[in-house]
Chains A and B, each alone.
Chain A
Amino acid sequence: MSSLRLGAAVALLALPLAVALTDTHLEGQSAALVISTAAAALAVSALALQPLLAGTGRLRWHRMLGGIALALVLLHLGALYLESPEDTLFALSLDGPTRGRMAALATAALIAVVALGVLRRRLPMASATWRILHGFLAGLVIFLGFGHAILTDGALDGFGTPVLLAFGAVALVGVGSAFAARRRRARSSAAASR
């Protein structure tokens, strides 16, 4: 990759963070809220990139970024807890708003996706079963996580909303194309071995 393309990719990936940190929503807010928001904005970029890494066979990067994405989401949640334990627990409770429910389910699905990744070789399932489950749960993480972000009034409002929609769309299309790429590779290797 040329340095120009690398620079463009980094700039694109930094877009959610830049939008969030320059939003008026964070003016005068605590360090915990700024850290929480920054972690969430970086997770947006990480989740959008993940399916593309998997689909293009960059599995080492895919594994590393998966761990980073989970760490960012947990940092987002932990910093919110520091900001206000009561509001955080309420948002995640059964009486919490829909966006809180989406966040809780997205986090659970992300933990499951990462656990599937870590335990891949030890799980007694066919590799196709594993792939469908991993990809399905990843799609769920994207739908619920981006849905949560879009429904939330916060630093990714305004210009942040089309950014979230675009990154979410890239992520979901990425999951589909990762499956398509895998099928193409399987077919061509089957043809080659004939």
Chain B
Amino acid sequence: MHDRPSRPWLLALVLVVITGGVAYALLSSEPSGTDAANVGDSGRGEAPDPEERQCKATRSNPGGTNNYIPDGPAAESLGDGFIITGRVRAAADCKPLEDLRIQVWLATETGGEQDNRASVHTDADGVYRIETDPTVAQFGEPNIHVGYDDGDYREVFIRRVVDLDDKRAVVNLTLRR
């Protein structure tokens, strides 16, 4: 047969390099994006609060500021059916921080991330909590944002994912100065 690649080794090398590059690119990615852990649960029982992470300052993760609009309006609720909650601590002494403003934003059945945003304050136990409508997929997956941006501590912007049938997302924050 005359119809064969003139330099089969070169062609084979090109195909191997492309395959390897694609495999590396996929395997080095995280399913939901960098550090976007799934923090959703059924909403039953105590919110998880792993001790080993309580004193460790929470780091912002890529995409944390997506669709962030500063100073979300104070709101008791953004609907019902889904809860975003968490405990906020100081990195210096691990103690809960009271009356700190936390901002949340997410896509729900009633609107996108820029429509559904709110500021809530922590109680005496350092806990913030807001009820929203159920989440919907935004760019391929339901995700939520939690942020602190008021200056007393270093700013933190978090992007986490949940499953569509989850009833609660728990995002604990440990802030440092």
Contact = CB atoms under 8 A, between A and B. Distances in A.
Contacts of A129: 5-7, 11
Contacts of A153: 137, 140-142, 164
Contacts of B4: 126, 128
Contacts of A88: 139
Contacts of B3: 126-128, 186
Given A105-B25, A125-B6, A144-B22, A90 B33 contact: yes
Interface residues of B, number: 35
Interface string A41-55: 000000000000000
B29 A87 contact: no
B42 interface: no
Contacts of B30: 97-98
Nearest to B11: A129
Interface stretch (B61-69, B91-99, B149-157, B167-175): B61-69
A73 B6 CA distance: 33
Given A84-B139, A91-B139, A153-B137, A105 B22 contact: yes
A8 interface: no
B106 to A, nearest CB: 13
Task: Give the dominant DSSP class at B's interface.
Answer: loop
Task: Give the dominant DSSP class at A's interface.
Answer: helix
A67 to B, nearest CB: 23
Contacts, number: 99
Interface in A94-108: 95-102, 105
A190 B29 CA distance: 48
Interface stretch (A113-121, A132-140, A160-168, A169-177): A132-140
Contacts of A186: 1, 3
A93 B15 CA distance: 24
A91 B161 CA distance: 14
A28 B112 CA distance: 11
Contacts of B66: 84, 86-87, 90
B14 interface: yes
Contacts of B18: 136-137, 140
Nearest to B109: A28
13 contacts: A25-B137, A28-B109, A95-B34, A100-B33, A100-B140, A105-B22, A126-B4, A127-B3, A128-B3, A132-B15, A133-B11, A136-B18, A186-B1
Given A133-B11, A140-B22, 17 more contacts: A84-B67, A84-B139, A87-B139, A90-B62, A90-B63, A91-B33, A91-B139, A93-B62, A95-B61, A100-B140, A126-B6, A127-B3, A129-B7, A133-B14, A136-B18, A140-B18, A152-B141
Interface of B: 1, 3-7, 11, 14-15, 18, 22, 25-26, 29-34, 36, 61-63, 66-67, 109, 112, 136-142, 164
